[in-house]
Structure formats: structure tokens, C-alpha cells
Amino acid sequence: MCPNGKKLLKVEGLVKKFGGFRALNGVSIDVCQGRIVGLAGPNGSGKTTLINVISGVYRPDGGSIEFDGCSIYKLPSHKIVHLGVNRTFQVPKPLSGLTVWENVLLAAVYGSAEGDKQQTIRDSLEIVDLSAIKDAISAGLTFAQQKLLGLATALATKPKLLLVDEIAAGLSHQELLWIAEMLQRIQQTGIAMIVVEHHLGFIDTLTSDVVVMNAGANLFRGSINEAAQNEEVVEVFLGR
């Protein structure tokens, strides 16, 4: 149950097929307003496919997706963004020839966010600590800075729900702490998140609520501590 009584996202029985292969086989997940849910599982378990379907990158083949009380099943990605759902990518995709500011500006325009777009950009850069390099060309950023720019561009569309895909991949321990701090800061603004991650340890720094997937289906939902003691979860992650 949601502490504030409002379920922002409700996904039930989601199916996604690629030819005869079911990448998603009846997956269900829900997110309460302003909360973080971790989404974990081994490589190939369907985590990123689920994010791609929710965000409209892939069209689903079955099930239902409701966001903020409305069906977003099979809506195109730009309409889903306008309703308040956006996502980051495991591999950052900034427009390398543009500055940090220009990348976020394009996102603000694309998202059709209401209000002062200049202030929206300033706020988005400030929350991820990129204000000082707003005029830097994106191609010259470090990998960690490019991940933060991905967060800033997503935030510039003023989402209610942010889908964060494998943001910890390829980062050092210190960078992981930095990214975790950014995500916690974003949550404090009232934005809900699904944080996709292979490692439970990173999710544990953000939330105790985790969904574990395997072979395109739900395997477990509960706390991180419960997941660590669940025999099926342990077997999937450790192979024993």
C-alpha cells in the first residue's frame, strides 16, 4: 500500500515478444508517488526491456500500464514524456557537439514543460551539480558527468516518474556515492523513481523496496534484507 494512498504507476501482466521470444512474460510492478523502487536481476532478465516498454520505446504485446490514473499502454514515447514519465539510459547519449546547457534546453523544449524554461534548466543542472560546467561541450565530459547530464535532461521535462537505467554501470566507488546522493536529492523534490540495477548493494543505498526479475518475469518483491535471504534470489545472483 502507498503511504500517501496514491499509486502513481501500475503495470500488470506486461508481455513483450521479439519473434517467438518472450522478453517480458507477465511482469507486474507498481510505484507509489514520490517513492523509489529498485528493479534488480541478472543480465538478460528483462529489466531494461521493461523500462523501454513503460517509456514507449517498445510497444507492448499484452498486459496493462497505467500512469497517474490514465492508460499509457502503447502510447508513443513523446506523449508519455508529456504526461510525466521520462528515463535515462545505461549508456549516456548527449548531443556531443552541444554544450551541457544546450542539451538540457532541447530536453526542456521537447518535454513542453510549463513555466520558465530557463529556470527549469538552471534547476535541473543545479540538482545534479553541473551548473559550473554548463558551457562545456558535452563530448569533453567524463563518463560520470555524462550520466549526470542524462539525469539533468530527463529532469528538464519535469517528470513525476523517472526511470533510471543502470546508472551505476562503469562508475568508481566514489562516483557511485556521488550518483546516489543525486538520486536521493531528486527524490526529495517529490519525483518517484524506478532504479534499474544489477547490484543490490547500490539499490540498498537508495531504497529498501526492490523487485527482482528473472527470465522476463517477477521473481521477488520485498525489502533488500528479505531479498538477500531468499533462496531463489540468491540462486539467481550467485548461481548456487
Q: Where do the structural domains in the chain lie, given as residue ranges?
A: 33-57+76-238
47-61, 147-161, 172-186: segment of lowest average pLDDT: 172-186
Residue 114 pLDDT more than 70?
no
For the chain, the distance separating the N- and C-terminal CA atoms, rounded to the nearest angstrom, is 33
Where do the DSSP E strands lie in 54-176? Answer: 62-67, 70-71, 85-87, 161-165
The mean pLDDT of the chain is 91
Q: What local confidence, expressed as pLDDT, does residue 171 receive?
A: 82
* Long-range CB pairs of 119-127, under 8 A, 24+ apart, other chains included: 120/156, 120/158, 121/156, 123/155, 124/152, 124/153, 124/155, 124/156, 125/100, 125/101, 125/152, 127/152, 127/155, 127/182, 127/185, 127/186, 127/189
CA angle 88, 92, 97 (to 5 degrees): 125
Strands 62-67 and 7-18: antiparallel
* Residues 203/71/20/45 CA torsion (nearest 10 deg): 0
pLDDT tens for 49-95 read 999 999 999 999 999 999 999 999 999 999 999 999 999 998 888 89
- Measured distance CA(192)–CA(117) in Å, rounded: 22
Average pLDDT over residues 226-231: 90
Q: What local confidence, expressed as pLDDT, does residue 214 receive?
A: 94
CA distances, 87 to each of 123, 140, 145, 155, 166 (Å): 18, 23, 17, 9, 11
2-6, 15-19, 154-158, 180-184: segment of lowest average pLDDT: 2-6
CATH fold of 33-57+76-238, please? Rossmann fold (3.40.50)
Q: What local confidence, expressed as pLDDT, does residue 154 receive?
A: 95
Residue 100 neighbours by CB under 8 Å, 6+ apart: 125, 130, 133, 134, 135, 136, 138, 141, 149, 152
